[in-house]
């Protein structure tokens, strides 16, 4: 499949504001945009309306899944292994790919940072597979870093990646959108403009860093994932072909960031149980995949 700026695209992300990571791509492709949550997180303050404004200014349009769930609902569904909830969203995504004649989809990478980001990636991969299996509709599949360096791309994938290098005008528009999006994100951008390393993710605030004091291992893991990214790195937007669903970091023997941080929240009485990759995420991904395979079998049996 040969892709161009005229190819019909979709964007599927876990949270509002992730679209800012690929703002220039958003302007160029004007994709259909699906967002899993309303962006309230633990604060209870949705930020979906901010993303709606961004989409309006870029010409992108909301899709059928737009702030469907809260993060707390997703956490509960993962702990309860509610594969039917996620499989239903997979069905809707696959149907949208077909109805809107989507040629490629971009979405959150699985980075081991957030369970919501990672389960979003599982659903994107499953929806791509289902669209092919049920309707014979191929969809090229790309991801992009949400918390890691935006220009990160494995060497082996670079020749197939979609890479945009922003000129000064495009970069200024991107920065202005980030500055006006939320006070928390504006603080990060203003600090970066003043010469401090960009902190890299709108969901990481001063309170998170304060909570990590006294936990050197966890703090080091956070630093490895998101800190120290120079602001100029955001002049590059890189969509990477997804060659290995459920690849790194899920195959790592090291505990993931969301597990380590979850331990901190459970110890503080914020949650009752830590979401674990091997105990919760991998079985749930397998259950979602099983739903897709059942669909494939039904299609083959009917043909």
Task: Report pLDDT digits (tens) over 98-128.
Answer: 999 999 999 999 999 899 999 999 999 999 9
Residue 154 vs residue 11, higher pLDDT: 11
Residue 251's alpha-carbon distances to 12, 112, 143, 239, 246, in angstroms, are: 23, 10, 18, 22, 8
Angle, alpha carbons 115-119-125 (nearest 5°): 150
Which string of b and e fits 98-124 if b means at least 16 CB within 10 Å? Answer: bebebbbbbbbbbbbbbbbbbbbbbbb
Local confidence band at 5 (pLDDT 50, 70, 90 cut-offs): confident
- 245 in any annotated domain: yes
Task: State pLDDT tens for residues 145-170.
Answer: 998 888 888 888 899 999 999 999 99
Residue 204 lies in a domain: yes
Tell me, yes or no, whether 1 lies in a domain: no
**pLDDT score at 194:** 54
Provide long-range contacts, Cβ within 8 A and 24+ apart, for 202-208: 202/17, 202/20, 203/15, 203/41, 203/114, 204/147
Which helix (H) or strand (E) covers residue 299, if one does?
helix 282-302
Domain count, the chain: 1
Task: Work out whether strand 162-165 and strand 236-241 pair parallel, antiparallel, or are unpaired.
Answer: antiparallel
Q: How far apart (Å, rounded) are the C-alpha atoms in residues 111 and 145?
A: 8
Residue 271: the pLDDT is: 84
Residues 62-94: pLDDT tens digits? 999 999 999 999 999 999 999 999 999 999 999
Strands 61-69 and 140-144: unpaired
What does the alpha-carbon distance between residue 138 and residue 195 come to, in Å, rounded to a whole number? Answer: 44
d(CA 218, CA 225): 11
Cα-based angle 101, 6, 3 (whole degrees, multiple of 5)? 80
Of 141-150, 212-221, 238-247, 292-301, give the range with the top mean pLDDT. 141-150
pLDDT: which is higher, 209 or 300: 300
Give me the mean pLDDT over the 265-294 stretch.
89
Predicted confidence at residue 201, as pLDDT, reads: 44
Kindly state whether residue 2 falls inside one of the protein's structural domains. no
Say how far apart CA 188 and CA 198 lie, in whole Å. Answer: 6
Residue 172 sits in a domain whose CATH number is 3.40.50
Residue 245 has pLDDT above 70, yes or no: no
- In a domain? residue 73: yes
Over the stretch 47-61, which tens digit does the pLDDT of each residue have? Answer: 899 999 999 999 999
For 94, the domain range is 9-302
**Cα–Cα distances in angstroms (integers) from residue 181 to residues 49, 51, 54, 98, 177, in the given order:** 10, 8, 9, 32, 6
- Residue-wise pLDDT tens digits, 183-238: 777 666 666 555 555 554 434 444 455 555 655 655 565 555 555 567 788 999 99
pLDDT at 265: 85
Report if residue 25 sits inside a domain: yes
182 vs 138, higher pLDDT = 138
Q: List beta partners, residue 198.
A: 229
Q: What is the pLDDT of residue 230?
A: 75
Give the pLDDT confidence score for residue 50 in this predicted structure: 92
Quick check: is 4 in a domain?
no
């Amino acid at each position: 499949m040969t892709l161009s700026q005229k190819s019909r695209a979709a964007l599927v992300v876990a949270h509002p504001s992730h679209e800012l990571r690929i703002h220039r791509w958003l302007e160029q492709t004007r994709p259909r945009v699906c967002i899993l949550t309303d962006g309230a997180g633990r604060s209870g303050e949705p930020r979906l309306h901010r993303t709606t404004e961004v989409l309006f200014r870029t010409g992108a349009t909301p899709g059928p899944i737009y702030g469907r769930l809260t993060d707390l609902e997703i956490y509960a569904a993962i702990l309860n292994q509610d594969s039917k909830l996620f499989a239903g969203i997979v069905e809707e995504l696959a149907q949208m790919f077909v109805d809107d004649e989507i040629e490629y989809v971009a979405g959150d990478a699985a980075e081991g940072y957030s369970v919501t980001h990672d389960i979003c990636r599982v659903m994107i991969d499953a929806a791509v597979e289902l669209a092919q299996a049920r309707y014979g509709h191929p969809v090229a599949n790309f991801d992009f870093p949400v918390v890691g360096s935006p220009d990160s791309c494995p060497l082996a994938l670079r020749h197939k990646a979609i890479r945009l290098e922003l000129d000064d005008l495009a970069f200024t528009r991107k920065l202005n959108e980030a500055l006006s999006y939320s006070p928390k994100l504006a603080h990060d951008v203003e600090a970066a403009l003043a010469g401090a390393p960009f902190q890299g993710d709108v969901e990481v605030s001063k309170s998170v860093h304060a909570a990590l004091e006294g936990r050197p291992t966890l703090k080091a893991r956070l630093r490895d994932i998101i800190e120290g990214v120079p602001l100029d790195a955001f002049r590059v937007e890189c969509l990477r072909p997804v060659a290995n669903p459920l690849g790194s970091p899920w195959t790592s023997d090291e505990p993931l960031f969301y597990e380590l941080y979850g331990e901190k929240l459970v110890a503080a009485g914020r949650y009752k149980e830590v979401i674990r990759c091997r105990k919760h995420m991998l079985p749930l991904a397998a259950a979602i995949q099983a739903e897709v395979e059942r669909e494939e079998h039904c299609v083959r049996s009917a043909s």
